[in-house]
Structure 1
Amino acid sequence: MNSWIYLIIAGIFEMLWVLSLELSDGFSKVKYILLTIVFMIISIVLLSFSFETIPMGTAYACWTAIGAIGVIIIGMIFFNESTSFVRLGFIAMVIIGIVGLKLTTA
């Protein structure tokens, strides 16, 4: 499988573990604690697979950005977090940075 596909899926699992961490209610709900651990492991394993052809720094930056942007969007949609124009502008800058990293990676 293509390393970028591994990386994107790893980023999705990063979003899932952060969401399950939020839903664990301060580590008081066992089901969500277990989901957090499982999603973390899957995310990190897939991230490591992406290192085959993507430089480590690029892969890590993209992985964290996918997770962060996804969690921010989930927070806006489901947890009533701010959707200010300035916040959306900074999200756009992160996306531009990730696209730049992708375009400049051999």
Structure 2
Amino acid sequence: MAWVYLIFGGIMEVGWALGLKYSNGFTNIKVVIPTVILIILSFYAFSKSLKLLPVSTAYAVFTGLGSFGTALVGMIFLGDTVTFIKIGLVMMLISCIIGLKLVSREPNREDAV
């Protein structure tokens, strides 16, 4: 269950990163409110995952998912430049995130979450 919280938090990170872009320095209240809600949800889910996962692994995955998702959204929907090098680096990033999941051992304390 900790990994579900962690992935959810990483996905919410993509949302609030984009919200920060469009909040115009926190002056556009229509964007600020959902952005703050996404920040709270993101960090809540991240903190729940820390009950079972080591902080080093959880933080790397949390920020990596946010970076991966934000880069992907930027390239697909926001007109960010797309190059083979950028795609390769983003793929390497997601490979490292998957690798961290594969080598991490989650204790059998599901009641902690």
TM-score bucket of the superposed structures, by smaller chain: over 0.9
Counterpart for residue 29 of structure 1:
28
SS of the residue 1:28 aligns to: coil
Structure 2: give runs of 5+ residues left out of the alignment.
Answer: 106-113
Scaled by the length of structure 1, the TM-score of the pair is 0.94
Structure 1: give runs of 5+ residues left out of the alignment.
Answer: none
Moved over 6 A (4+): none
Counterpart for residue 83 of structure 2:
84
CA displacement, residues 38-96 of structure 1 (integer Å, 9 cap, x when unaligned): 11111001001001221111010000011111011111112100110000110111111
SS of the residue 2:13 aligns to: helix
1:97 aligns with 2:106: no
1:77 and 1:105 map into 2 onto residues whose CA distance is 31
Structure 2 residue identity aligned to 1:28:
T
1:22 and 1:52 map into 2 onto residues whose CA distance is 31
1:1-106 correspondence to structure 2 within 5 Å: 2-106=1-105
CA RMSD of aligned residues (A): 0.9
Counterpart for residue 111 of structure 2:
none
- Measured after TM superposition, the shift of residue 27 of structure 1 is 2.1
